[in-house]
Amino acid sequence: MAGGADSAELPPRRRHVTTAFVQRSDGAVLLVKRSGRVGTYQHQWGAISGGLEEGDESAASRAEQEVRTATGAGSAQGCGSPGEQINQV
């Protein structure tokens, strides 16, 4: 039934995300290609990002975890408050 209650679209689900830009000392910025398993922007290039999850200490701690996951790094140095420059990863 076109236009009926059964075909009503649900509003988009809102989710808080954090994004980390990783820059080397020579100015180069790390871009990653998104997986085909993510819900948005599949196979597109961008900065490291991820959704905030219940229990996350802060957006910065989630960004640090996303950098570790994306790069395989044991620790992400320099992650901190939003806007803080990341010197090394």
Cα angle 21, 68, 12 (rounded to 5 degrees) comes to 65
Domain ranges of the chain: 15-71
Query: Model's pTM, two decimal places?
Result: 0.63
Reported as a single tens digit per residue, the pLDDT across 21-72 is 988 889 999 999 999 998 889 999 999 999 998 899 999 999 999 999 888 8
What pLDDT score was predicted for residue 77?
56
Quick check: 20 pLDDT over 80? Answer: yes
- Phi then psi for residue 40, to 5 deg, are -135, 155
Q: Computed over its alpha carbons, how large is the radius of gyration of the chain?
A: 17
